[in-house]
Chains A and B, each alone.
Chain A
């Protein structure tokens, strides 16, 4: 089975190039980058692919709240000659595809109600960092080994950069939060120097509850994270590369490779 990846760009998305590069490093057989405008014209359809990536950026300039206008567009916008986007995406998920949302793409999945429960009802949100500021810094995350997330398998700890103003994960009710943690649907957490999940700034750049940096759905096939794995594809991306010896390939690629390996084994 070929891995066919679709990277959605346009309208303020700005990490599509390095995301496509990371997919290439990870061995995707086919990579198509399409603007949301081409999707609206029906040039491409989500269900023709088995790996969809929503990369980082500033969809609609974060006006009305990060990714909100684009979530609205994907819910109510009607592509020409094709079924509604929501139906395309459901069909893609139902046929065993995987979805990765990075930063702004994670915000988009949350605001469409695809993460965490994939029922098109938004029950969590990514909102303003407690500092009120945009933060560009590298963070350390640990992976939950018991998470069903297919993208974090085999990863213990990973350094990645965050670059966001709205990354604090909050829940509609306490129960939602508790359930997500209990069911191991928070695959990556910001940690302190002792690798313990932390709410302390700056190791946790936004004040997320118990260090939550990401979410996945119950199948583990839909994954969203605030840090940028596509920004660590080469050792010179790492902020300490002049201080230590690192493998040539950056660890961020492993997130993409895990997804691709899972597809190869399950399709």
Chain B
């Protein structure tokens, strides 16, 4: 008989968590809810002796100072109705797992301990109707995809003799089976097979497989092993994973016939001919100074940090899961990307996290289409997922941003990045390579395998639709992962394994399949894989994306020591097969061969996709800005725009300085709230060697031309790194594309694909011009949602993440420092108001978006960096969203001190009006402050023709004053600017 426990705060204790929940509610609900208390429930699935039960409750579950508990009866309190939420069977229940472990401690080691399942109770007093309570439960307190809900009135609850004590135990009641599948069927049936099984394989791809299986030599081998002549489900699932857009990047590798204004060109893979080529060319030009160590081949890119260590960096997206369950999606996103640098080379220690969210306006008044979550719920969910994932992992979240655009309503974009530090030498070999050998054992380490996360890779290769599978949703468990990392770093330093990779998309099929390429084959027995519960089919075990797992190769002579260390650190590791050189990926189940795939066909059997893209250069259209509100008003309005307003709400809830490495924090200045351009950390406490981490993203410009969007995003990342002191000779970048579906059949697909081509071409151009290599990247190509027959597609969005190296003492923050410091503007301002925050605020259509002039810009960047090394610069801030006006206000807010500016000497190419100087978003620009005594030395670094000018001075008085000739066009207190900027996103 299951045991049910309730715990809750004592009546006289305040309940901040309840208040936090209520604060997120609509005011219409808030006004009618008088009181709410959050209680917890625990269901123990089995018998526990009375005495142990009480110790368990008192020691592990209920804080004696704050809380009380009850066993198999309700805790009494006043309320009108209760909403009880717990997890559906099989969903990760981290709190339940911790409770199970705590209970186990009280049992002798030989006894089986019953499982514990956690739940939450919301006890609410207020005047709400029945249907309102139910909608609150399903739309606000729970996600019905992964959670169970029970709603009861006070009377129903107290009188219910059948307390809800059904533990959510998975009972599949299913005999595992292996099914051969007939592919010799009509196209329509093939298409139906692919859809029904969420393979995301096209009819043509299935025919290639069918054709392969019908070959005589293939049939012969299969016959000799007793395999069915038809492919079995395990094999088709493995092909589906390996050949998915998510894993194979078919569009990036496609042959594209690209037509630009009538001129046709055939591109053999934009990945090879643009992205990889950019890096190859940069590396060749750098010669001895090449910083790249391992690029585009491992889970993350590796560059040189110093003579002993390399920097490892990877950014991923987790968009589709975040659309279904924002919390679980982003949590899994961040703990998932942690495993990439961790599984690079022989393994790296993690240093930092980054995150960028693209979301719809959370305050929007438009009706949300059925089937989509409200943007506020997505915002809170993804924020909290990264909070729990990052904070609990003990990795500081040091850089990020939030971009708002209503086209992210269908699929939010959740970019998560992780950087690490890797020893260049592991024993006497390169630490950034792997060394699995034929005969080494395949070991799975960490969590167990369940149904969760089946078809993540193939599902994300489709648009979101009403039947999107909920098994694709998972909840990460940072603590289990941290325990595994603690163990594996020890194992690495003891040289106990020869290779490591992560289990992400595609699960074991990808991790083992990819590592088997080193030796030329593998044998994997799926019956040896530890499961969360019985009843999984072999194919499910193979492709499940259950979290917190790494796959390793271990030499048989080291296996005992490896497994002993693992056990001693509370981490489960299991031998599940061995790597060989057979040329096959052979799958066994209970020692019997049940599937066999030729490694060559699996990895190279997919023919190149052939696609068409068409581009017509847009006409530049200039808007009419003659009748606009005055500059002061516009400055306040811009500071309040969601893309510009302070993101302190996020930053404060992310631990950004665990590890004690922070030098430039996300917020700096007199009151610690000025927005930094990039983060700077010192990886080693004993050294001043530092890393800066920045990013650039500007999807607004894609509407005109993704080429310029890309140039601007890249330049923004570079500017941000320059602004805090990064050395441009050491920069390395990552590209993360999130595109709307560019394949035939999607709306306007030729344009979308042309945008992709143009973006890739821009990357090649700017990387070569700036001499910055791309070291890793990812693409996500189906960021569309189909709801009620309409499609909501994201704008083509590219995130550039960038690292650089500097000496910590030369780092510069953005806040104004001392009254009297001179204010300079570096970089020319042009009439580039197109799709600027200013134009969008006014609703004025204009397509003159900023143009990046790489040669001119880099010259200035290098001089600024030199000036920083000479410590001439007190503060520096880049200009981007909102232009000069917004950056100036932010610097004044950061320093809580004013300034006086005169626009008469502003650096421009051709004459422009004051509003354009204030709000144009031309790239390549900074505001700098220089102490008066360094004036001459600073100015002497520049040529006369360089676009640099002294425009004003930092003032003691807390007013931001801007004059144009003799007229004062802005005169605002720093405090009032702060209010406009800080209020909008105080959630």
Q: Which residues of A contact B (CB under 8 A)?
A: 9-15, 17-18, 21-22, 35, 37-38, 41, 56-58, 60-65, 68-69, 71-73, 75-77, 111, 122-125, 127-138, 161, 163, 170-172, 228, 230-234, 236-237, 239-243
Let me know if A239 and B665 touch, CB within 8 A: yes
Cβ contacts under 8 Å, B477 to chain A: 61
The residue in chain A whose Cβ has the minimal distance to the Cβ of B93 is A63
Complex CA–CA separation, A69 to B94 (angstroms): 13
State whether B105 touches A77 (Cβ < 8 A).
Answer: yes
Chain A nearest CB, measured from B274 CB (Å): 39
- Closest 6 interchain pairs by CB? A14-B394, A132-B20, A18-B660, A125-B65, A132-B16, A63-B98
The listed residue (B17, B118, B486, B669) touching A9 by CB distance below 8 A is B486
CB neighbours (8 Å) of A73 from chain B are: 102, 105
User: Nearest chain B CB to A194's CB is how many angstroms away?
Assistant: 16
CB-defined A-B contacts under 8 Å, sample of 24 = A11-B570, A12-B392, A14-B394, A15-B658, A17-B685, A37-B569, A61-B95, A61-B98, A69-B60, A76-B106, A123-B65, A127-B63, A132-B17, A132-B20, A133-B653, A134-B652, A135-B652, A163-B391, A230-B660, A233-B685, A236-B808, A237-B663, A242-B668, A242-B815
Closest-by-CB residue of B relative to A12 is B479
Docked Cα-Cα span, A230 to B658, in Å, equals 10
Contact B653 A236 (CB under 8 A): no
Chain B residue nearest to A205 in the complex (CB): B652
B478 at the interface (CB under 8 A from A): yes
Residues of A within 8 A of B444 (CB): none
Contact status of A231 and B660, CB under 8 A, knowing A131-B16, A134-B387, A236-B682? yes
Complex: A69 Cα to B60 Cα, angstroms:
6
Known: A21-B660, A123-B65, A161-B657. A136 touches B478 (CB 8 A): no
* Least Cβ–Cβ distance between A52 and chain B, in angstroms: 19
B662 at the A interface (CB under 8 A) = yes
Q: How far is the CA of A70 from the CA of B393 in the complex (A)?
A: 17
B:465-505 near A, CB below 8 Å: 477-479, 482-483, 486
Known A63-B118, A133-B20, A134-B652; 15 more pairs at CB < 8 Å: A9-B486, A12-B392, A12-B483, A14-B393, A14-B659, A15-B658, A64-B102, A68-B63, A129-B16, A131-B16, A136-B652, A137-B672, A161-B657, A234-B682, A239-B668
B685 contact from A21, A111, A241, Cβ within 8 A: A21
Is B708 on the interface with A (CB-CB < 8 A)? Answer: no
B382 contact set on A, CB distance < 8 A: none
Nearest-neighbor residue (CB-CB) of A18 within chain B: B660
**What per-residue 1/0 map shows which CB atoms of B95-126 lie under 8 Å from chain A?**
10111011001100000000000100000000
B19: chain A residues at CB < 8 Å are: 132
Cross-chain contact B660 with A68 (CB below 8 angstroms): no
* Assembly CA distance A22 to B428 (angstroms): 31
* Chain B residues whose CB sits within 8 angstroms of the CB of A62 once the complex forms: 392
CB distance from B335 to the nearest CB of A (A): 11
**What is the minimal beta-carbon distance from B715 to any residue of chain A, in angstroms?**
25
Tell me the complex Cα distance, A241–B874, Å.
Answer: 12
Could you tell me the distance in whole angstroms from the C-beta of B684 to the nearest C-beta in chain A?
Answer: 9
Q: Tell me if B799 is interfacial: C-beta within 8 Å of chain A.
A: no
Q: Say whether A122 contacts B99, CB under 8 Å.
A: no
Distance between Cα atoms of A75 and B478 in the complex (Å): 24
A234 touches B394 (CB 8 A): no
Given contacts A18-B685, A21-B685, A38-B568, whether A122 and B65 have CB atoms under 8 Å apart is: yes
A72 to B116, CA, bound (A): 16
Most chain-A Cβ atoms within 10 A of its Cβ — which of B14, B106, B657?
B657
Complex CA gap A136/B60 in Å reads: 27
A241 to B65, CA, bound (A): 40
Residues of B within 8 A of A13 (CB): 394
Q: How far is the CB of B548 from chain A (nearest CB, A)?
A: 12
* B397 CB to nearest chain A CB (Å): 9
Alpha-carbon separation in the docked complex, A71 to B63 (Å): 11
With A37-B569, A130-B16, A243-B817 known as contacts, the answer to whether A136 contacts B651 (CB < 8 A) is yes
Point out the residues of chain B lying under 8 angstroms from A239, CB to CB.
Answer: 665, 668, 672
Chain A's closest residue to B813 (CB) is A242
Closest to A172 in B: B65
Q: Please indicate the chain A residues that have their CB under 8 angstroms from the CB of B99 in the complex.
A: 63-64, 69
In-complex Cβ contact of B657 among A12, A75, A170, A237 (8 A):
A237
Once the chains are docked, how many angstroms separate the CA of A113 from the CA of B660?
29
Query: Are the C-beta atoms of A72 and B59 separated by less than 8 Å?
Result: yes
Pick from A64, A131, A135, A241: contact of B61, CB under 8 Å: A64
State whether A10 and B569 are in contact (beta carbons under 8 Å apart), knowing that A18-B685, A134-B387, A242-B812 are contacts in the complex: yes
Q: Is the CB of A128 within 8 A of B16?
A: yes
In the complex, the answer to whether B653 meets A136 with C-beta atoms within 8 Å is yes
Set B65, B94, B394, B875: member contacting A57, Cβ < 8 A:
B394
* Cα distance, A252 to B670, chains bound together (Å): 21
Interface centre among A41, A72, A134, A237 (most CB of B within 10 A): A72
Interface membership of B80, Cβ < 8 A? no
Once the chains are docked, how many angstroms separate the CA of A76 from the CA of B108?
11
User: B52-77: which have CB < 8 Å to A?
Assistant: 55, 59-61, 63-66
Question: Shortest beta-carbon distance, A187 to chain B, in Å?
Answer: 21
B955: Cβ under 8 A from any A Cβ: no
Indicate with 1 or 0, residue by residue over B384-400, a CB within 8 angstroms of chain A CB atoms.
00011001111100000
Nearest chain A residue, comparing its CB with the CB of B394: A14
CA distance A91 to B280 in the complex (A): 63
Q: Which residues of B are found within 8 Å of A60, using beta-carbon distances?
A: 98, 101, 479
A174 to chain B, nearest CB (A): 11
B926 at the interface (CB under 8 A from A): no
Q: Is B656 an interface residue (CB 8 A)?
A: yes
| Interface flag for B81 (CB, 8 Å) | no
Question: In the complex, what residues of A have CB within 8 A of residue B486's CB?
Answer: 9-10, 35
